[in-house]
Amino acid sequence: MYSRGRSVVTIGAYDGVHIGHRSVIDRVQSLAGSEGLESVVVTFDRHPASVVRPDSAPKLLTDLAQKLELLEETGVDRIFVVHFDPERAAETAEDFVEAVLVRELSAAAVVVGRDFHFGKDRGGNVALLEAMGEEYGFRVEPFDLVTDSSAQEVVSSTRIRRCVLAGDFAEAERLLGRPHQLRATVDATSAAGDAFALGVPDDVLLPPVGEYPVRVMAESGPGAGGTAARLAVSGSGKLVLSVADPAAEPLPPLGVGTTVRVLFGDG
């Protein structure tokens, strides 16, 4: 059991919730468990870069709903979602600490990367957190980012995005700890019911033009077990899901508006 009065907190965009992210959350949970505190992940309802520098903001590995689902699967006690808008972007690091870490979460410990920056103009860092921790009664535990032993390169959302853009879904799966997945909505169906046009949010990353072996699962209802399929990505970003092999298992009946999960790899 934890004391709801104090918490161990980590902060980040958590796009993809990859193996590096989960290593941090494991540390938060370990500290919280040993001290009877609440484990908390602070994340954002959109990537901060989409507000601060929209012209160069990265496309996302996971939409918000998918990210929250993956965070919940870690077993963390609480996920605190910060609404990130221009007002929040103009907030100083000191004000963020006081509003979120102190007043909202009563932080006893904050676990962040050694190069962590936050607040207006990225003015906050580990040193500022440590100074404010002395004032407000929380400690800071900086950590080194998880490095991939085979490539000696930090595991990051940026690196996984490069994998997706190169169509290297085996490497993306290794770094994510699970198959890369798109959450999509059925926009149209063929008359025969063997092909489906899919739509995804504009800020979600798509693979390069081509055809990919995938498995498709409906969010609910018939066909939720997953079926082998092929996903075609066109130059205009259109997505068409079709049967992997006319002689193989047919796709589940997916009506317009159905939400589906598309998992990359021939699994």
pLDDT tens per residue, range 9-27: 999 999 999 999 999 999 9
In the sheet that holds 107-113, the strands lie side by side as 78-82, 37-44, 3-11, 107-113, 139-143
Span(s) in the chain for CATH 2.40.30: 181-264
Give the model's pLDDT for residue 173: 96
| Cα 202 from Cα 199, distance rounded (Å) | 9
Give the model's pLDDT for residue 153: 86
CATH class of the domain at 3-148? alpha beta
Span(s) in the chain for CATH 3.40.50.620: 3-148
Give the model's pLDDT for residue 132: 97
* Radius of gyration of the CA atoms of the chain, in A: 21
Find out whether 108 and 7 touch, Cβ atoms under 8 Å.
Answer: yes
The three-class DSSP label of residue 132 is: helix
Query: What stretches in the chain show pLDDT beneath 70?
Result: 1-4, 149-151, 220-225, 247-248, 266-267
Give the model's pLDDT for residue 266: 59
Give the model's pLDDT for residue 151: 63
| Cα 219 from Cα 184, distance rounded (Å) | 10
- Cα distances (Å, whole numbers) of residue 237 to 30, 62, 159, 184, 190: 42, 17, 22, 13, 19
Give the model's pLDDT for residue 164: 97
The residue length of the chain stands at: 267
CATH among 2.40.30, 1.20.272, 2.40.50, 1.10.287 for 181-264: 2.40.30
Rounded to the nearest 5 degrees, what angle is found at the Cα of 106, between the Cα atoms of 39 and 8? 25
List, in order, residues 6 or more apart from 224 with CB less than 8 Å away: 217, 218, 252
What is the DSSP secondary structure assignment for residue 120, as one 8-state letter?
G
Diameter of the chain measured on Cα atoms: 68
